[in-house]
Amino acid sequence: MRFGTLEAGGTKMVLSVGNEQNELLEQASMPTEAPEKTIPAMIDWFRDKNIVSLGIGTFGPVDLNQASPSYGWITKTPKPGWSDKPLLPPMRDALGVPALIDTDVNAAALAEWQLGAAKGLNSCMYVTVGTGVGAGLVIEGKLVHGLVHPELGHMLLRQEPGDPAPDGFCPYHKGCLEGLAAGPAIEKRWGTKAQYLSPDHEAWKLEAAYLAQMCMNAVCAFSPEKIILGGGVMQQKHLFPLIRRKTLELLNGYIQAKAIMERIDSYIVEPGLGTKSGATGALLLAQQAYAESVK
């Protein structure tokens, strides 16, 4: 059986076809332009792929309430042309297949939980640190949606001493997590794109301190059994030991969990599925959409 998957990003759309063995068989990508142009192009790509269902992990905010008339619509986004636009409905209807949608980070969290770094656990947080910062959560064995869906990147953090740009760069909140620690914040603060900063640049200690605050706040807020950090900025692998050390320092022995105190190296980790968490999550959503349609 063939399942369609879509990772809908602010910059590009990644389309794929996967199978029941959770393998991604073929893939294409196209730039994210106006929905009037991009959605028909995606429909065209899928049209001869013989898929039985579609799973979408998308940028947001997005309406995830399946009972809502605007289920699968992008709600309000800075991405030009996409505010209050349907994403899932036109694709589902044109392709004539059942479809499910979630945030890109929830899709990745789902995949990491079912098949990756959090396999066998009841909870995890998957964070992507890149152009923005976003998190997908599994708590008590369920993907978290809640009122809207998590927007962890906009959590407020304590300013780090010595930060040359402590006010942050988020257009909504200035010094929220994203405004302090996303890729563009690193670039604006230091005047150089993150990937060109050497591993011993002071930028990374600061970056690790903010991401450690995020880890600490997540531990305090909802106590995940695993924290998985992905995204472009986290390709700087030297960040991991810095973040782990700083998280322990911040927690200061308060949370007496061996998984944290004694095994931090396996508590704050890289994605088990590498860069395929998002696409694999969309595949799991597609499988679920199909299973629900034939039940």
* Cβ(68)–Cβ(17) below 8 Å: no
Using rule CB under 8 A, residue 117 touches its own copies: no
Using rule CB under 8 A, residue 252 touches its own copies: yes
Shorter beta-carbon distance to its own copies: residue 172 or 196: 172
Query: Please, what is the minimum distance in Å from the beta carbon of residue 153 to its own copies?
Result: 7
Q: In the set 196, 256, 294, 295, which binds its own copies (CB under 8 A)?
A: 256
28-35 LR contacts (CB < 8 Å, sep 24+): 32/8, 32/79, 33/81, 34/80, 34/81, 35/81, 35/82, 35/85, 35/86, 35/87
Query: Please, what is the minimum distance in Å from the beta carbon of residue 205 to its own copies?
Result: 17
Residues forming a β-bridge with 24: 18
Shorter beta-carbon distance to its own copies: residue 150 or 231: 150
**Which of 260, 192, 182 shows the shortest CA–CA distance to 226?**
260
* Cβ(115)–Cβ(272) below 8 Å: yes
- State the alpha helices, DSSP H only, in the chain: 35-47, 88-95, 104-115, 177-181, 183-190, 202-222, 239-251, 258-261, 277-294
Please state the separation of Cα 290 from the chain's center in Å.
23
Q: Can you read off the two tokens belonging to residue 61?
A: 């905010």
Interface of this chain with its own copies, residues 129 to 158, rule: CB under 8 A = 135, 137, 139-158
Shorter beta-carbon distance to its own copies: residue 21 or 252: 252
Contact characters 12-51, its own copies, x per CB under 8 A: ----------------------------------------
Query: Please, what is the minimum distance in Å from the beta carbon of residue 289 to its own copies?
Result: 19
Interface of this chain with its own copies, residues 79 to 98, rule: CB under 8 A = none
- Residue ranges in contact with its own copies by CB under 8 A: 61, 75-76, 122-123, 135, 137, 139-159, 172-173, 175-176, 213, 216-225, 250, 252-257, 259-260
